[in-house]
């Protein structure tokens, strides 16, 4: 039996979003060491603020300033902080209801150990030394011995140079184990062969193989070599350059039905101007320098495939 494969994988991308008037005021306020909530139609103050009343779904815009002190409503200890978390030493995740607010804000609490944390404890915001208009302008919460401070105060949400958009990095680290079917597929790719598996009932050949037929629900084991040539069934033109991807835009990603396969796979098209890629285009793989997998697909020079030959694979 071949050795089971596994590899560490990282999915990472920057998530960019524009801010409406409520979120813009909230994040700009944090930059100015001011915490803003929003008052609902029922009179409750929500922190962080939202743009629509969660009960009535009505649009809400009445901003209210609350205190930088509050009370822990619940917590969980984090003994091993991970990359990108608020603190590099062990800390508590806490939900804090700031004085004047009716809902709780999630953030980190700096504490020497879990024995120092309890529901009902008083805390206050520790502001970041450098603030840019993000939730990280709150460096963390810290213990506070005082009583409740201040009352909620109406605020017009007006600031100089308001924050209108944010970029939030999203990252997922995990270990992937492909299993029997895809391990065989990856092993074949390293020999510049493309192998799928055939369903014993419907006889469809799936590439990449999944170990079971998604239509019939039965296990697959019969290996079938397909391609390497195939047909573009549909495609999209990419006009936004991805971070850490050294490909000039615009470029084309396509679904390619390899000869002998009953499922189209996803790959980049090269060797042809983006505006000449079309459905029915016949393509072949261009392998990476190490020969372990196709880098992209290029035109073969053959006549385009007839639509009836691939219409069931769209």
154 with 284, same domain: the answer is no
148 with 19, same domain: the answer is yes
Residue 314, pLDDT score:
86
In a domain, 212, yes or no: no
In a domain, 192, yes or no: no
In a domain, 214, yes or no: no
Residue 164, pLDDT score:
95
The conformation of residue 219, written as its DSSP 8-state character, comes to B
Residue 232, pLDDT score:
98
Query: How far from 245 is each of 4, 8, 100, CA to CA, in Å?
Result: 29, 19, 47
155 with 261, same domain: the answer is no
In a domain, 183, yes or no: no
For the chain, 314 residues long, the average pLDDT of each consecutive 10-residue run is: 78 88 96 97 96 95 96 98 93 97 97 97 97 96 87 90 92 90 91 95 94 93 95 96 83 96 94 96 95 94 96 90
Total domains in the fold of the chain: 2
CATH number at residue 249: 2.40.50
151 with 247, same domain: the answer is no
**Cβ–Cβ < 8 Å for 110, 56:** no
Residue 3, pLDDT score:
67
User: 236-249 burial, b for 16+ CB within 10 Å, e for fewer?
Assistant: eebeeeeeeeeeee
Residue 32, pLDDT score:
96
Distance of alpha carbon 144 from alpha carbon 92, whole angstroms: 15
The token pair at 85 is: 């978390």
Among 119, 139, 168, residue at a domain's last position: 168
Domain range for 47 is 15-168
Whether the model pTM is above 0.85: no
Residue 2, pLDDT score:
57
Give the residue carrying structure tokens 């089971």. Answer: 4
């Amino acid at each position: 039996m071949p050795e089971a494969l596994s590899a560490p994988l990282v999915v990472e991308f920057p998530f960019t979003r524009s801010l409406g008037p409520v979120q813009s005021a909230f994040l700009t306020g944090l930059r100015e060491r001011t915490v803003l909530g929003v008052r609902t139609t029922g009179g409750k103050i929500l922190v962080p603020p939202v743009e629509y009343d969660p009960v009535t779904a009505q649009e809400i815009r009445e901003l209210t300033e609350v205190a930088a002190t509050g009370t822990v409503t619940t917590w969980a200890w984090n003994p091993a902080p991970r990359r990108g978390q608020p603190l590099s030493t062990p800390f508590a995740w806490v939900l804090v209801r700031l004085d004047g607010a009716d809902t709780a804000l999630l953030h980190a609490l700096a504490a020497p150990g879990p024995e120092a944390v309890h529901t009902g404890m008083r805390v206050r915001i520790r502001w970041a030394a450098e603030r840019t208009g993000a939730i990280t302008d709150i460096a963390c919460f810290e213990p506070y011995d005082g009583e409740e401070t201040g009352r909620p105060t109406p605020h017009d949400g007006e600031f100089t140079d308001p924050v209108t958009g944010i970029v939030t990095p999203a990252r997922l680290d995990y270990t992937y184990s492909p299993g029997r079917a895809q391990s065989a597929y990856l092993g074949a790719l390293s020999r510049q062969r493309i192998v799928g598996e055939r369903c014993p009932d419907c006889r469809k050949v799936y590439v990449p193989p999944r170990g079971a037929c998604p239509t019939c629900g039965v296990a697959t084991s019969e290996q079938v070599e397909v391609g390497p040539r195939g047909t573009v069934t549909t495609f999209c033109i990419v006009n936004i350059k991805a971070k850490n991807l050294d490909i000039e835009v615009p470029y084309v990603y396509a679904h390619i039905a390899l000869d002998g396969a009953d499922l189209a796979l996803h790959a980049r098209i090269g060797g042809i101007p983006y505006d000449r890629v079309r459905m029915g285009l016949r393509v072949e793989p261009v392998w990476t320098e190490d020969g372990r997998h196709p880098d992209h697909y290029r035109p073969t020079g053959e006549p385009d495939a007839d639509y009836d030959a691939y219409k069931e694979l769209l």
